[in-house]
Amino acid sequence: MGIFVLFPILISAQSLTFHKVMWAVAHPFVAKKVYTISKEAQRAAFQMAKTDSLDRDAVGGQVDAYRHIYWMALLVQEIAPRKARRLGEIHEKDNFRDFKKRRNEDGILPDSVSGNMDLLNNEIGIAIGLQIKDSSRTFISQTVVERIRQGEAWIIKKNHKGTFLTCNGYEISIAEYKGIWGIPKCLIPSNETPPKNNAPDSCK
Per-residue pLDDT of 113-135, as tens digits, reads: 999 999 999 999 999 999 999 99
Provide the pLDDT for residue 199. Answer: 43
Provide the pLDDT for residue 94. Answer: 81
Q: Distance (Å, rounded) from C-alpha 10 to C-alpha 168?
A: 40
Provide the pLDDT for residue 102. Answer: 73
- Tell me, yes or no, if the pTM score tops 0.85: no
Beta-carbon contacts of 44 under 8 Å, excluding residues fewer than 6 positions away, are 66, 67, 70, 141
Residue 14 CA: distances (Å) to CA of 18, 20, 92, 99, 178: 11, 11, 14, 13, 22
Cα dihedral sign, 148-153-158-163? negative
Q: Distance (Å, rounded) from C-alpha 158 to C-alpha 93?
A: 25
Over the range 7-20, which residues count as b (16 or more CB within 10 Å of their CB) and which as e?
Answer: bbbbeeeeeebeeb
Provide the pLDDT for residue 198. Answer: 47
- In degrees rounded to 5, what are phi and psi of residue 154? -130, 140
Percent of the chain with pLDDT over 70: 79
Question: Average of pLDDT values for 146-157?
Answer: 98
Helices (H) and strands (E) in the chain, counts: 7, 2
